[in-house]
């Protein structure tokens, strides 16, 4: 029996994870979790609502006030987080298959981009536990002044479906390292690995109530968490629209701290002197990796006019050969979109590209070949002759649709690059070191990659400029999200 078959057989209806125990939703209702690649029903999870969020927040608050976690010896906390990384590593294959089943991404991508980074994040933040401390500050007058870095309290983590485990861990690992207690609300479409994470955390030694998971919809469970008066902080990754709703919820409740990792429409800028093969490969995987459902997708390809046609011809011929299909097959290049709604959204953007006069070079439609007809597959799509003001150059599509735009000068490239509401990531391809650094200065984005794309490391901060959000995940910067600084004055 394959791992996938074994997992399917084991998938009994899931429960919420509150105070270290499985619980049903107070309303008794459930949500179906389906495999988007096949339409098969995988299992159900509780349709958690405000009452369940309230129970979870109460448990998190109790653990925080009793100091069961934050009061634990730092070296012990460090060992527990490291232990959790080891448990995830031991179960890596199962987690990758589960992620592929609920999300439709290839199992290769789930292993490399979800499970691998999740393991690394717990190892990295385990190392921080004993290194989070304050400072002594020379002040005027006869005083001793020092700071304490204290855990912010109860953290609500609201996460999306595109990298379910990875993004959940980007919140949970630093929050736990700082001594916070957490209520995690995964996407209603991909709740299974978050529930597994909570079980593994208990197994690793995280005390009950410190990590709780409430499954449910955004407008009910998510909203209840965002408006809860006893939540100190919301850490969010998702759409810009929901980001606004969370800010509003904070403003209308207890002014809880909010950090937002939102959408993107990222420019990937190719100058004619660059090394072409890695640039083409990165442009390709930058948009077709994870079926384009990546906040950091290289969705706008800005190519210098001197190399434009050759660059696109190669890219398009590869896109036509990309194998789209069964995500569990290790030879598959691109899996299924997350849902019918998402697929239709992507197809409607493709239609708008055609309607507005962009040149469709390949793809442009649903892929229904063979068993793909049961899932939500979209053919890798490339548009040329895209104008910066077109909808497909301005709005986040969140699918395998590339918009290629021609440019002539660095100044024009900068203007196009900065000409959207977003500012998440960007890339520049050139051998000219001065030009590369000048571009890095001029582009308004949280990351600039030079002669590479999608460079990620747990140690390096990630987050947006402009309407791509604020606050940083990863690295030492994430610790600022989960700590308060207290200034203590002692008259001497
Ligand atoms: P989404 O905003 O619809 O949902 C994200 C989460 O928020 C889900 O758990 C959802 O249930 C919840 N939610 C929805 N409405 C809510 C509300 N009113 N109150 C509280 N919670 C609510 O986003 P999505 O469709 O799941 O994910 C796709 C989006 O996420 C894209 O726009 C993408 O760019 C963005 N994203 C950003 C990053 C990043 O790091 N910047 C990473 C991944 C995805």
pLDDT single digits (tens) 156-210: 999 999 999 999 999 999 999 999 999 999 999 999 999 999 999 999 999 999 9
pLDDT score recorded for residue 5? 86
Cα 399 to Cα 381: distance, rounded to the nearest angstrom: 9
Residue 364 Cβ inside 6 Å of ligand 1? The answer reads no
Cα distances (Å, whole numbers) of residue 32 to 13, 52, 326, 340: 9, 18, 21, 15
Backbone angles phi, psi at 454, to 5 degrees: 55, 45
Q: What percent of the chain has pLDDT over 70?
A: 100
Q: Is 237 in the same domain as 275?
A: no
Distant-in-sequence, close-in-space partners of 52: CB < 8 Å, separation ≥ 6: 16, 18, 23, 25, 26, 46, 214, 216, 221
Q: Which residues is 382 bridged to in the sheet?
A: 362, 402
Is residue 424 included in any domain, yes or no?
yes
Burial (Cβ within 10 Å: 0-12, 13-18, ≥19) of residue 241: exposed
Is it the case that residue 476 has pLDDT exceeding 90? Answer: yes
CA of 120 to the centre of ligand 1 (A): 23
286 and 433 co-located in one domain: yes
- Alpha helices (runs of H) in 356-426, residue ranges in sequence order: 391-394, 410-417
**Residue 246 and residue 271 in one domain:** no
Write the pLDDT tens digit of every residue in 39-90: 999 999 999 999 999 999 999 999 999 999 999 999 999 999 999 999 999 9
pLDDT score of 352: 98
The token duo for 387 is: 């104008």
Q: Report the atom number in ligand 1 closest to the C-alpha of 225.
A: 20
Residue carrying structure tokens 């991404």: 105
In this structure, is residue 69 part of a structural domain? yes
Q: How far is CA 184 from CA 32, 41, 177, 335, 398, in A?
A: 19, 24, 16, 27, 24
Name, in order, each residue with C-beta under 8 angstroms of 108's C-beta and a sequence gap of 6 or more: 330, 332
Number of domains in the chain: 2
Q: Is 330 in the pocket of ligand 1 (CB under 6 A)?
A: no
103 CB under 6 A from ligand 1?
no
Q: What is the pLDDT of residues 282-293, one digit of tens each?
A: 999 999 999 999
Minimal-distance CA residue to ligand 1 atom 38: 295
pLDDT at residue 6 greater than cutoff 90: no
What is the C-alpha to C-alpha distance for residues 302 and 280, in angstroms, rounded to an integer? 12
pLDDT more than 90, % of the chain: 98
Residue 1 has pLDDT above 80, yes or no: no
Is residue 426 domain-resident?
yes
Angle at 180 between CA 242 and CA 16, to 5 degrees: 65
Note whether 278 and 201 are same-domain residues. no
CA distance 428 to 411: 13
* Helix spans in 179-260 (H): 192-204, 223-227, 240-252
Say whether both 106 and 214 belong to one domain. Answer: yes
pLDDT of residue 8: 81
CA distances from 414 to 411, 436, 441 (A): 5, 12, 10
Looking at residue 458, what is its pLDDT? Answer: 98
Q: What is the mean pLDDT of residues 251-259?
A: 98
172 lines ligand 1 (CB under 6 A): no
- How far apart are alpha carbons 295 and 163 in whole angstroms? 10
Residues 424 and 324 in one domain: yes
Catalytic sites, residue numbers: 261, 295
Sign of the dihedral through C-alpha 270, 274, 280, 284: negative
pLDDT, mean over the chain:
97
Q: What confidence tier does 212 reach under pLDDT thresholds 50, 70, 90?
A: very high
What does the pLDDT look like over 268-282, one tens digit per residue?
Answer: 999 999 999 999 999
Please check whether residue 297 lies inside any domain of the structure.
Answer: yes
Q: Report residue 9's pLDDT band, with 50, 70 and 90 as the boundaries.
A: confident
Q: Which of 274, 247, 245 is nearest to 258 (CA)?
A: 247
Q: Does residue 314 surpass a pLDDT of 90?
A: yes
Q: Which residue's C-alpha comes closest to atom 36 of ligand 1? A: 238
52 CA to centre of ligand 1 in angstroms: 20
Average pLDDT over residues 110-134: 98
14, 90: one domain: yes
- Please report the pLDDT score of residue 4 as a whole number: 85
How far is residue 138's CA from residue 243's CA, in Å, rounded to a whole number?
39
Region 439-460: what's the mean pLDDT? 98
Q: What's the DSSP call for residue 366?
A: B
Q: Within this chain, do residues 81 and 141 fall inside the same structural domain, yes or no?
A: yes
Decide: 336 and 376 in contact? Cβ < 8 Å. Answer: yes
User: Stretch 128-147: mean pLDDT, rounded?
Assistant: 98
pLDDT, tens only, 57-67: 999 999 999 99
- Give the Cα separation of 215 and 102 in Å (integer): 14
> Which structural domain range is residue 349 located in?
267-457
**pLDDT of the residue at 10:** 82
Residues 6+ apart with CB under 8 A from 220: 47, 48, 49, 50
Interatomic CA distance for residues 216 and 59, integer angstroms:
18
Residue 216 CA: nearest ligand 1 atom is 11
Does 462 fall in a domain?
Answer: no
Query: Do residues 283 and 198 both lie within one domain?
Result: no
Entry pTM: 0.97
Q: Do the domain assignments include residue 135? A: yes
Choose one of 242, 287, 337, 462 to mutate for the ligand 1 pocket test, by most ligand atoms within 8 angstroms of C-beta: 242
CATH number of the domain enclosing 165: 3.40.605.10
Residue 472 CB contacts under 8 Å (≥ 6 apart), including other chains: 259, 446, 461, 462, 463, 478, 480, 481
Specify whether the backbone of 454 is left (phi greater than 0), alpha (psi in -120 to 50) or beta.
Answer: left
In a shared domain, residues 214 and 273? no
Longest alpha-carbon distance in the chain = 80
Based on the domain organization, do 50 and 81 belong to the same domain? Answer: yes
Say yes or no: CB of residue 156 within 6 Å of ligand 1.
no
Is the distance from the beta carbon of residue 170 to the nearest atom of ligand 1 less than 6 Å?
A: no
Residue 332, classed as helix, strand or coil, is coil
Q: Please indicate, yes or no, whether residues 186 and 42 belong to a single structural domain of this protein.
A: yes
Nearest alpha carbon to residue 289 among 338, 238, 333? 333
Q: Is 463 part of a structural domain of the chain?
A: no
Q: What is the CATH number of the domain that holds 418?
A: 3.40.309.10
Quote the CA–CA distance of 287 and 293 in Å, as a whole number: 8
Helix (H) or strand (E) holding 173: helix 164-177
Using DSSP, state whether 210 is helix, strand or coil: coil
């Amino acid at each position: 029996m394959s791992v996938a078959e074994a997992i399917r057989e084991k998938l009994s209806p899931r429960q919420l994870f509150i105070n270290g125990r499985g619980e049903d939703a107070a309303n008794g209702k459930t949500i179906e979790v389906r495999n988007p690649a096949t339409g098969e029903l995988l299992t159900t999870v509780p349709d958690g609502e405000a009452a369940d969020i309230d129970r979870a927040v109460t448990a998190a608050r109790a653990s925080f006030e009793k100091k069961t976690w934050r009061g634990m010896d730092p070296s012990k906390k460090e060992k527990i987080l490291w232990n959790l990384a080891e448990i995830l590593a031991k179960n890596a294959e199962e987690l990758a298959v589960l992620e592929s089943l609920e999300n439709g991404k290839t199992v290769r991508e789930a292993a490399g981009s979800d499970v691998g980074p999740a393991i690394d994040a717990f190892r990295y933040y385990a190392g921080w536990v004993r290194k989070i401390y304050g400072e002594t500050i020379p002040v005027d007058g006869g005083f001793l002044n020092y700071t304490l870095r204290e855990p912010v309290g109860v953290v609500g983590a609201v996460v999306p479906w595109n990298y379910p485990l990875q993004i959940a861990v980007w919140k949970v690992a630093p929050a736990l390292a700082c001594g916070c207690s957490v209520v995690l609300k995964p996407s209603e479409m991909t709740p299974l690995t978050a529930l597994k994470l909570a079980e593994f955390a208990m197994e690793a030694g995280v005390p009950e109530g410190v990590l709780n998971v409430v499954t449910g919809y955004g407008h009910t469970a998510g909203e209840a968490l965002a408006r809860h008066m006893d939540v100190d902080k919301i850490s969010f990754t998702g759409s810009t629209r929901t980001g606004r709703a969370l800010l509003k919820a904070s403003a209308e409740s207890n002014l809880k701290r909010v950090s937002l990792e939102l959408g993107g429409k990222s420019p990937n800028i190719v100058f004619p002197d660059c090394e072409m093969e890695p640039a083409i490969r990165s442009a390709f995987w930058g948009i077709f990796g994870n079926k384009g459902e990546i906040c950091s997708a290289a969705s706008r390809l800005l190519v210098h006019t001197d190399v434009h046609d050759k660059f696109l011809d190669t890219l398009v011929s590869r896109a036509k050969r990309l194998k789209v299909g069964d995500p569990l097959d290790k030879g598959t290049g691109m899996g299924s979109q997350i849902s019918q709604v998402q697929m239709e959204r992507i197809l409607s953007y493709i239609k708008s590209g055609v309607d507005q006069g962009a040149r469709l070079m390949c793809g442009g439609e649903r892929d229904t070949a063979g068993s793909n007809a049961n899932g939500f597959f979209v053919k890798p799509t490339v548009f040329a002759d895209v104008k910066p003001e077109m909808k497909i150059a301005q709005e986040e599509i969140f699918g395998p649709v590339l918009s290629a735009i021609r440019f002539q000068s660095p100044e024009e490239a900068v203007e196009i690059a900065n000409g959207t509401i977003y500012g998440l990531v960007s890339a520049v391809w050139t051998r000219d070191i001065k030009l590369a650094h000048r571009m890095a200065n001029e582009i308004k984005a949280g990351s600039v990659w030079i002669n590479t794309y999608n460079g990620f490391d747990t140690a390096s901060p990630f987050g947006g400029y402009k309407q791509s959000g604020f606050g940083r995940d990863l690295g030492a910067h994430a610790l600022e999200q989960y700590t308060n600084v207290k200034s203590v004055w002692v008259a001497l």
